[in-house]
Structure 1
Amino acid sequence: MATPRVFVSSTCYDLKYIRDNLRYFITTLGYEPILSEDGAVFFDPASHTHDSCLTEIPNCQLFVLIIGGRYGGKFQGTDDSITNMEYREAIKNKIPVFTLVESGVLHDHHTYLTNRKNKDIDLTKFNFPSSDSIKIFEFVDEVRKAASNNALVPFRDFNDIECYLRKQWAGMIYDFLTKKSASEKITDYLEVISQMNSRIELLSHEILNSVGTKKAKLNAIFYEEMLSNKAIQDLTFLGLKPKPTDILNNPDFSSYCNSFNIELFIHDDDHEFSISGNGEISNSRFENNIEKYHKIQNFIKDMLKKDNMSIEEYLNDEN
């Protein structure tokens, strides 16, 4: 049976006790903890060990980020830490990230933010009680300013971490089950509606075939085709009620609008495909409506011809 794989990202030596407890906690939940020191990461002899850690992340379903007071080793060839790069890889792969920051580091971060714009203080030379580098604060800012997946929670000891992760992962399962249930209900409703529409359509055809006039049967076909025609949809949006006879009586889209006192204001903007209720329409949409209008008009003419009914006969038939 497949089990969720949880990648734990943090500096190792200063947070060893946290990582040890996380390994045990994740295992007791039935999940698989992925920690670099356990051999759970395959260190390809042909690659740098840093790259091997990043390669393992897309194979995980959850990502736990612990930010402590030590910045840690730099990722090969960069000024960023290994933890920084692991976090970015998780974000790139859209893996849910659960970030926890040591309380003392957050207090230092607040001091950093308060004094960051003070030109009289060189923060690079300032000794923070719980943090060994201001790059930690820059990393905290990167996480909290992300567009999504940016929750950031303080912790004092492992109990805080365990309590937070239990609630969050239980919430994920609840959210999944709730959405799944709602999705199944919607699917059931759509199935019922689909069946109802099919029955209504069948009954409509049966009624038309049994008692409908020749023109009524043709109108049913015409209106069904008109419903999906973009030009007809725009005429409806402009407040008109298009009918097949009106389409035959008006040679094009413009004349149809004019015959019902709708004045069009065409604006020449190749980057828009818009229409407004007051008659403003982009040139691209207008040209498209001309084409679609002729398409439905030709469809009506072809169906009349196929049914051996002339346009004059159709227009004059009042029944």
Structure 2
Amino acid sequence: MLKDFLTLRKFIRELGYEAVKNEGGDIPYGKKKTLEDYCYREINNVDILINIIGGRYGSASKEEPYSISQKELKVAHELNKQIYIFVQQSVLVEYKTYLKNEANENFMPEYVDNIQIYKFLKEVYNYPTYNTVVGFSKVSDITNYLRSQWAGLFQRFLEDESRRVNYMLSKNLKSTAETLSQLIEYTTRERDETIKNIMVQSHPVFTQISQKTNIPIRIFFTNRKELDTLLKSFGYEEVEILEGDVFEIMYKKQSSGEKRILKINPSIFDNDGELKPVKQGEWNKTYVEINVEEIENVDEYFDVPF
């Protein structure tokens, strides 16, 4: 058995792994816990657990009814470690006989020194996650199986690494695409805003109101409120429309000898009262009209000289 162990240990080292075995003094012990506890703690530090089940039960664990070796396997399973379980062929064959005689209290196993080995093996087979149980007759059966399995592990590692690289590449491309999308959205938004400002700055309504009202300065407004303030400063007052089907904005200005009524189509403003940009060719000159009426100067009839 020792020769087989040394052969397996040599095989593991040749593949670049370091074998950790309690009997070889590979597990560091301290003073605060039992030797058994340090065995279980070491499971945290290993990547792969190779569990060999033979006819000997081994040292009993403080957690009955398990042996320390069995408890190590349970801890590795709970930590989701990669586990390989090898069962001596004679034990594996007799295990099937045990299952048929499980209820027979007089069943005496021939190839194991403790019936708990078979009870634990049944527990292993019932683990919710799959762990391969492989029978072996000689140590070369174990090394050949491990050689094949670890080659597959390495291949899967390369595939996972390739997928990881592809994932990172895909993630970077997605991030770049999102950045470009945001840049395009921002550029488009800024462009549209700039075009809108240019169209408002050169809006034809300014020239037409200036010509109709004879206001001698450059006219500019961006909303209905600014238009009201502008016209009011030149003597125009908004006319309140109480009834009728008149859909116009009207202002009046009355001076000596005439009355001016300025009509503006409300469709030049949006629902919020903001001046809407107008594309070239869309402006209708009927949107702004003015009516001028002559009126009598009432004061001249009361001009009595003294």
Q: TM-score by structure 1 length?
A: 0.58
Give the CA deviation at 1:311.
10
- Distance in 2, matches of 1:106 and 1:112, equals 10
**Structure 2 counterpart of 1:9:** none
| Pair 1:190-2:143 in alignment | no
Give the CA deviation at 1:93.
2.6
Deviations 1:1-29 (A, max 9, x none): xxxxxxxxxxxxxx434322221111222
For 1:32, what is the secondary structure of its paired residue?
coil
Deviations 1:124-164 (A, max 9, x none): x3222322222111211222211225211111110110011
For 1:22, what is the secondary structure of its paired residue?
helix
Percent identity for Structure 1 against Structure 2: 29
**Aligned 8 A contact 1:54 1:89 in 2:** yes
Question: Which among 98, 101, 126 is matched to residue 115 of structure 1?
Answer: 101
Question: Which among 119, 123, 136 is matched to residue 142 of structure 1?
Answer: 123
Task: Write the mapping of 1:119-268 to structure 2, written as runs, cut at 5 A.
Answer: 121-122=104-105, 125-211=106-192
**Aligned 8 A contact 2:101 2:107 in 1:** no
State the superposition RMSD in angstroms: 2.8
**Aligned 8 A contact 1:41 1:56 in 2:** yes
For 1:128, what is the secondary structure of its paired residue?
coil
Question: Which among 37, 40, 44 is matched to residue 51 of structure 1?
Answer: 37
Q: Which moved more, 1:139-148 or 1:60-69?
A: 139-148
Give the CA deviation at 1:68.
0.7
- Distance in 1, matches of 2:277 and 2:58, equals 87
- Distance in 2, matches of 1:55 and 1:99, equals 20
Question: Which among 68, 74, 78 is matched to residue 88 of structure 1?
Answer: 74
- Cα 1:206–1:148 change in 2 (3 A) is same
Give the CA deviation at 1:208.
2.8
Is the helix fraction higher in 1 or 2? Answer: 1
Gaps spanning 5+ residues in structure 2: where? 197-268, 279-306
Give the CA deviation at 1:200.
2.6
Deviations 1:19-43 (A, max 9, x none): 2222111122221111112111123
**Aligned 8 A contact 1:97 1:149 in 2:** no
- Distance in 2, matches of 1:77 and 1:200, equals 61
**Aligned 8 A contact 1:41 1:53 in 2:** yes
Deviations 1:68-90 (A, max 9, x none): 11222211363211111111222
Q: Which AA in structure 1 matches 2:179?
A: S
**Structure 2 counterpart of 1:26:** 12
Give the CA deviation at 1:165.
0.9
- Distance in 2, matches of 1:199 and 1:46, equals 59
Bigger radius of gyration among the two: 2
- Distance in 2, matches of 1:128 and 1:156, equals 19
Gaps spanning 5+ residues in structure 1: where? 1-14, 215-309
Question: Which among 46, 49, 64 is matched to residue 50 of structure 2?
Answer: 64
For 1:34, what is the secondary structure of its paired residue?
coil
- Distance in 1, matches of 2:187 and 2:41, equals 63
Question: Which among 65, 68, 73 is matched to residue 79 of structure 1?
Answer: 65
- Cα 1:67–1:173 change in 2 (3 A) is same
**Aligned 8 A contact 1:112 1:137 in 2:** yes
Q: TM-score by structure 2 length?
A: 0.60
- Cα 1:208–1:78 change in 2 (3 A) is same
**Aligned 8 A contact 2:48 2:83 in 1:** yes
Q: Which AA in structure 1 matches 2:113?
A: D
